[in-house]
Amino acid sequence: MVTEVLDLQVLNGHKTNYTRYRKTDIATSTVPLLADVSDSEADDVLFEIKGNRKAKQRMTASSSFVDRWLKCEQCCKPPELQERKVPLGQICGGDTFPKNEVKNTKYNLVTFVPKVLFEQFKVFINLYFLLVAITQLIPTLRVTYVYTSWAPLIFVLFITMCREAYDDVKRRLRDKEVNRAVYRKLTPSGPVKITADKIKVGDLIYIEKDQRVPADVVLVRTTEKTGSCFIRTDQLDGETDWKLRLGVGTTQKLASDDDVLRCGPSVYAEKPQRDIHSFIGNFYSALPSPTEEPLNIENTMWANTVVANGTALGAVIYTGRETRSSMNTNDPPSKVGHTDYEINNLTKLLFLLTIALSTSLVILKGTTTLWYRYFVRFIVLFSYIIPINLRVNLDLSKIWYSICIHKDKDIEGTVVRNTTIPEELGRISYLLSDKTGTLTQNEMVFKKLHLGTVSFGSDTFDDVATHLKNEYESVPSKQTSKVRKTLAHRVKESVKALAICHNVTPSGEDEESTSVGLTNPVFEDAKETDSEKVTLKTDQLMYKSINVEDSVMEKVQYQASSPDEIALVEWTEEVNLTLVYRDRTKMKLRTPIGEFEEFEILMIFPFTSESKRMGIIVRDVKTQEITFYMKGADIVMTNIVQYNDWLEEECDNMAREGLRTLVVAKKVLSHDQFVEFERRYSEAKLSINDRATQMRNAQLTIEGEMQLLCVTGVEDKLQLDIRTTLELLANAGIKVWMLTGDKLETATNIAVSSRLVSRMTPIYQFKPVKTRTEAHNELNNFRKHSKDALVILGNSLEVCLEHYEAEFIELAMMSPAVVVCRCSPTQKAAIVHLIKKHSRKPVAAIGDGGNDVSMIQAADVGVGIVGKEGKQASLAADYSISQFKNVGKLFLWHGRNSYKRCASLSQFIIHRGLIISIMQAIFSAVFYFVSISLYQGYLLIGYTTFFTMCPVFLLVLDVDVESHTAMMYPELYKELQKGRVLSFKTFFMWILISIYQGAAIMYLAILLFKEDFVHVIAITFTVLIVTELLMVVATVRTWHWLMAVAQIFSLGAYFLTLVFLPQYFDPAFITSKDFLIKFIALTAASCVPLFVMKYIRKKFAPPIYARLQQG
C-alpha cells in the first residue's frame, strides 16, 4: 500500500498527520480514522496520486499558504502565560519571555500622525468639520476661501498634536531613564554591568539599597546576616509601610555569592498572576546534595519596589509585561462628565438645526436639478452653528479650574489627577465613603483590655503595669502542679500575647547603626566570644541607649503594615513590656524589671482578608516551651477558642462604644505536636497545586480549643472637623453613605458620633436575611421607616440585590443616610454602579486604602485621601486630598464655580455661532436664497479668535458669590443638583436670544442702510462684534481686571482691522456721523431689550446668590 503523509496545521495551532490512499487501496484496505476531522473532511483529503500531479501541486501550494498564514497569526498573537522552571545564571527561554523594558509611549514616528488623526476624527464634531473643509476643495461647492474652513480645523488639530507629542515625549524620557538604569549581574566570571532593559529571566541581579527592583525576582541572598531585608512598596500597592522579605535559606547559608552558581540552582515559578500578595514557587539546588525549598510571597521582590536596606541578590523570574507591576497597570477608566454628555446632546441638536435650516432654504429656493449642490453649500454656510472651538475652550477652562483647585491654600495638598471632570464636583448628589482612615484618622489608640471577669480602661492602665511588674518580680513556683491563675498572671499572659503575636518590627532613630533591627556586627564574632559577653554586647548594640540598671531606654519606633498592630505593641511598651528586637528567627522583649525574654520564631501565619486572623508559633529560649498565639476578628475566633459565656457580649459592648475589637488566644504545644504539624505544613508548602488550601487545612489541625486570653478595644480617632463637614454636605443636599468592612455596632457608633446620622434621625437596622422571603418581609418593614437612616450588613445587601434590586435601591435612596457593614471591595463598587444606574445622578466616592480603589474608579468622581494605609487610593483617584474636611470646599466652592462657569462658557460659545448663522440665513433669504457667504476670509476667522475669544473665555474667572458665602450657605449648591444651569430650557433661551439679535442686526441694517447697502458687511460686522462684547459685560457678575483688559484688547484688534483691511471696510464711511448714529441704534436694538429683561428679572425674581448679595 502506497501512502503519502502531509502535515496540515489546523486553526487551533496543532498538527495532524493526514494519510492519503489510492482509490485502489481504499477498496481493499481499512482506512484508519482521521484525527480531528469529520467524514466529509476525510473524503475531501482523499485523492488519487497517480496521474494527478496538478491536483497535488495545488494542494501543496494551498498547504504552504495556510502554513505561512498561521505562522504569521501566531507571531502576532501574544504568547500564553505559562508556569516555568528557571535555571539560574543561564540564558533561558530565548525569545520565549518578554523583553524587560518599560514602554508607556503611545506613538512612534510612523504611527504618531495616523493615530492622532484617527482618535480626533472619531469625535463627531471634528469629522463633521473635516467633511465641510473637504467640500471647499471642490470649486462648485466652495462658498468662501478654502483657508477659512481649513484654518480652524488645522489649528485645533495642531493644538491637540502638540499636547499629545509633549505628553508622549515626557513618557519616552521617563521610560528611557528607567530602561537605562544600570545594575550588576552575577556571572561565572564575576559581576558585570547591565542595563535594565537587557535583563533576562534567569539572571542573578544585584539590587543596592534605595535602588528600584527592575523585574520580578526571588530574593536569593542579602548582605544582612539575618537573611532578610525590607522593601518599600508604595509605588506598587500604595502602602507606605516597609515589607519584610526573606532570602532563600539554602543560598543564604553559602559562603559567597559565587557559590550560588556552583550549586546548580533553579526556581520553579507559577505562571504570571495579577495578585501581588501571593506567590507559589520552589527553589532547587543540585549540589552538594539535591534540595527543595518552598517559596512564597515573603521570598519575592516585585518590580518597582525599592530595597530599603542592605544589598539584595535576586533571581529574575518575570520580565516586562509579565511582571506583577505591568499586569496591574491598567489604564484607568476614561471618565466623561454628565456636563460633557449634555453638551454633546446639545451639539446633536445644533446639527439637526443645521440640516433643517439648509433643507428649508433649498425648498424655498425651488426645485432644481442641482439641489444637492445648494444643500451642501448651505451646510457649509451654516457650519458655524456647531462651534468647532467649543471643545478646545472647554478643555482649556477645565485646566484652569484644576489649577485653581491645586493652588487653593485652604485645601493645601490637594492634587488634581484628572482634569477632564472638575465641573462634576459641582453637581454631586451622593457621596460614598469608607470609614477607617476616611471618616476616621486611622490613628489607633488602645482603649480597653477585657479579661472576662475584669476590664481595664485608659484610667486603669496603671493597674495593668503594676500587676505586670508584680508578676515578673514574683519567684516562679516549681511547675509540679498547675499555676493558680491569679489576676496578675492573667494580665501577664494577655500582655505577653499582645507583645508577641504580631508582625511589628522595632527600629531606632539611627538607621545606619540599627538597620531597622536587621544587622549587627556582633553576629560575625559570635562563635569566637563567650556567650554571656556576646549577649551583653549584642544588647548594647541593638538596644542602643538601654541602661539596664536605670531602666532607661530610647523611644523605639515601629514598622508594620497595620496601625492596629502598632497600637497594641505601643501599649505593651506603655505598661513596660517592650519589644526591642525582632528578625526573621527571633524576637526579644524587655520586661518591667529590666530583664530580657527571648523567643525563637518558629512559624508565622499572616493576616488575610479571608482568614481574618493571624498567628505565630514561638519557643521560649529559656523554658523551651512552644506556644501558639492567635488573634483575630470575633466572628472567626468564636469557633476557635474554648467555650465561654462572655466573649460575644463584651465584643458587642465594645463595638457600641465605637471600638475595633480583637480576640486573643493561645495554645501550648508539645514537642511532638509541633513536629507533626511542621511536617504536615511543610508538605503543604511544597505542593504546587492548590497550595493555599492545603496550608490552610494543615493550620486548622492546631487551631481548635485554644485558651481565650482577652479581648482588646482600639479606638480610631475621628477626622478633624468631620462633624462640621458632614453637616455641611447634608445641608448642600449631598447624601453620604458609609461603606465599611467593620462590625455593625462599630459602624453605627461612628455614624452617630461623626454626625453622619444626626441625633434626631432614627436608625433602622435591617435584620439579617438569607432567603428571598426574609428579604421581602424585611423590605416591607423598612418601607414603613424609609425616612430613617439605614444600617445593613453586606450579606443581607447581597440577598436584597439578588432578588429585589430596584425596590431596595429605591428605598435606600430615600433614606437620609445609609451605613453598609461587613462590605467587601467588590460590593462597594457594585453599590456605586447601582446608584448611578437608578438615580442617574452624579456619584462621588472617597476612600484612603487599596480596598477603596474599585469604588473610587467606578464613581463619577473619585476622591482619595493620603492616609496611613498608603497612597493607592490617592493615586487611583481623580482628586487627592489630605483630609476629609477638604471635601467641603472642593465641592461647594470649586465644584460649584467649575460647573457654573462651564455652563456659561459653553452656552455663550454656542450663542456666538448661532447669531452669525442667523444673520447668514437672513442674508441668503433676502437675496433670493443665494448660497454666498456674508463674511469672507479673515473676518470669519477673526470673529471667533481675535475679536471675541479672550472676553468670552475669561468667563472662567467669573464668580457670583465669595468663597466664605458659598461655604456659609451650602443651600447654594443644592440648586445646581437639578441641572438647571445647563438644560434644554436654557439652551432654547439662548437660541431665541440668538435669533432675535441676528434678525435685529440684519433686518435693521437693511432697513437703515438702504442707500449704503454696499457697506452691509462693515455695518453688520461692527454691530456684531460690539454686541458680543456687550453680552459678555451683561453676563459677568464679578469683574476681574483681566476681563477689562480683554475687552480693550478685542476692541483694539477690531480698530486695527479697520485700518489695515481697507478691502473690507471703507474708512470714510466708518468714520462718518451717519454711520455712528445708525450703529448706536442697531446696537441698542439688539442689546437694550435683553438688558431690560434681565434687570426686571433680577429685580422681581432674583436668584439665590443675588438675594444673598443684596442682604
Q: In a 3-state reduction of DSSP, which class is residue 959?
A: coil
Question: Comparing 662-671, 695-704, 796-805, which segment has the lowest mean pLDDT?
Answer: 695-704
pLDDT of residue 849 exceeding 70, the answer is yes
Angle of helix 671-686 versus helix 691-700 axis, rounded to 10:
170
pLDDT of residue 992 exceeding 80, the answer is yes
pLDDT band at 1015 (very low <50, low <70, confident <90, very high): confident
Mean pLDDT of 10-38: 35
Please tell me what DSSP assigns to residue 523.
G
pLDDT of residue 485 exceeding 90, the answer is no
Position 617 scores a pLDDT of 92
Position 486 scores a pLDDT of 83
Please tell me what DSSP assigns to residue 547.
B
Position 745 scores a pLDDT of 73
Quick one: three-class SS letters along 27-64? Answer: HHCCCCCCCCCCHHHHHHHCCCCCCCHHHHHHHHHHHH
**R_g (Cα) of the chain, nearest Å:** 38
Position 1108 scores a pLDDT of 62
pLDDT of residue 8 exceeding 80, the answer is no
- pLDDT per residue as tens digits for the range 197-207: 899 998 999 99
Contact indicator for 391, 340 with CB cutoff of 8 Å: no
pLDDT of residue 1060 exceeding 80, the answer is no
Distance CA 531, CA 539 (A): 12
Distance CA 211, CA 755 (A): 46
pLDDT of residue 878 exceeding 90, the answer is no
pLDDT of residue 69 exceeding 80, the answer is no
Give Cα separations from 286 to 93, 260, 263, 305 (angstroms). 21, 11, 6, 31
Say which residue, 148 or 498, is predicted with more confidence. 498
**AA identity, residue 212:** R
pLDDT band at 115 (very low <50, low <70, confident <90, very high): confident
Give Cα separations from 822 to 129, 439, 624, 772 (angstroms). 53, 16, 41, 20
Mean pLDDT of 733-751: 84
- pLDDT per residue as tens digits for the range 436-465: 888 888 778 898 999 988 899 888 999 999
- Tell me phi and psi for residue 96, to 5 degrees: -65, -40
Distance CA 77, CA 75 (A): 5
**AA identity, residue 1063:** Q
Q: What residues pair up with 847 in beta bridges, in sequence order?
A: 864
Q: Tell me the three cell numbers of residue 716.
A: 480610631
pLDDT of residue 55 exceeding 50, the answer is no
Position 762 scores a pLDDT of 87
Give Cα separations from 896 to 967, 977, 1104 (angstroms). 11, 10, 14
pLDDT band at 107 (very low <50, low <70, confident <90, very high): confident
Give Cα separations from 1094 to 1030, 1038, 1082, 1100, 1101 (angstroms). 13, 16, 19, 10, 10
Position 67 scores a pLDDT of 57
Position 545 scores a pLDDT of 34
- pLDDT per residue as tens digits for the range 549-565: 333 445 577 877 677 88
pLDDT of residue 892 exceeding 90, the answer is yes
pLDDT of residue 59 exceeding 50, the answer is no
Q: What angle do CA 678, 683, 688 make, to 5 degrees?
A: 145
By CB atoms closer than 10 A (0-12, 13-18, 19+), residue 209 is middle
Contact indicator for 590, 737 with CB cutoff of 8 Å: no
Position 481 scores a pLDDT of 39
The whole-angstrom distance between residue 977's C-alpha and the CA centroid of its chain comes to 26
Position 499 scores a pLDDT of 92
- pLDDT per residue as tens digits for the range 853-865: 888 888 999 998 8
Distance CA 798, CA 802 (A): 6
Say which residue, 265 or 1099, is predicted with more confidence. 265
Mean pLDDT of 37-50: 37
Distance CA 548, CA 588 (A): 14
Position 664 scores a pLDDT of 93
Position 508 scores a pLDDT of 53
Contact indicator for 588, 505 with CB cutoff of 8 Å: no
Mean pLDDT of 227-247: 77
The label of the residue with cell 482612615 reads: 437
**AA identity, residue 51:** G
Contact indicator for 752, 759 with CB cutoff of 8 Å: yes
Nearest to 382 by CA among 345, 362, 355: 355
- pLDDT per residue as tens digits for the range 929-941: 888 888 877 788 8
- CB within 8 Å of 567: residues ≥ 6 apart: 444, 445, 446, 714
pLDDT of residue 496 exceeding 90, the answer is yes
Contact indicator for 231, 211 with CB cutoff of 8 Å: no
pLDDT band at 154 (very low <50, low <70, confident <90, very high): confident
pLDDT of residue 420 exceeding 70, the answer is yes
- pLDDT per residue as tens digits for the range 606-641: 887 667 888 999 999 999 999 999 998 888 888 888
By CB atoms closer than 10 A (0-12, 13-18, 19+), residue 94 is exposed
Position 517 scores a pLDDT of 35
Mean pLDDT of 802-812: 90
Q: Across all residues in the chain, what is the average pLDDT? A: 80
Question: Comparing 212-216, 254-258, 810-814, which segment has the lowest mean pLDDT?
Answer: 254-258
Catalytic sites, residue numbers: 434
Mark out the alpha helices in 124-221 (DSSP H runs): 124-135, 146-179
pLDDT band at 194 (very low <50, low <70, confident <90, very high): very high
Rounded (10°) CA dihedral 898, 900, 905, 911? 160
Q: In a 3-state reduction of DSSP, which class is residue 449?
A: strand
pLDDT band at 927 (very low <50, low <70, confident <90, very high): confident
pLDDT of residue 2 exceeding 70, the answer is no
pLDDT of residue 277 exceeding 50, the answer is yes
- Give the β-pairing of 3-9 and 182-187: unpaired
Phi/psi region, residue 422 (left: phi>0; alpha: psi -120 to 50; beta: rest), is: alpha
Distance CA 382, CA 336 (A): 28
Position 404 scores a pLDDT of 92
Position 562 scores a pLDDT of 73
Position 543 scores a pLDDT of 35
The percentage of the chain sitting over the pLDDT mark of 90, rounded to a whole number, equals 21
Q: What angle do CA 538, 544, 546 make, to 5 degrees?
A: 90
Nearest to 712 by CA among 487, 504, 444, 465: 444
Give the count of alpha carbons within 13 A of 874, CB side only.
Answer: 23
Peptide bond into 139 cis (omega under 30): no
- Tell me phi and psi for residue 743, to 5 degrees: -70, 155
Rounded (10°) CA dihedral 464, 467, 468, 474? 180
pLDDT of residue 1103 exceeding 80, the answer is no
- pLDDT per residue as tens digits for the range 292-342: 888 888 889 998 888 988 899 999 999 988 888 888 766 666 677 888 888
- CB within 8 Å of 913: residues ≥ 6 apart: 384, 385, 386, 387, 944
The percentage of the chain sitting over the pLDDT mark of 70, rounded to a whole number, equals 84
Give Cα separations from 644 to 439, 639, 665 (angstroms). 34, 11, 12
**AA identity, residue 492:** K
Nearest to 428 by CA among 728, 821, 718, 719: 728
Contact indicator for 772, 803 with CB cutoff of 8 Å: yes
Residue 222 parent element (H or E):
strand 216-222
- Tell me phi and psi for residue 598, to 5 degrees: -115, 135
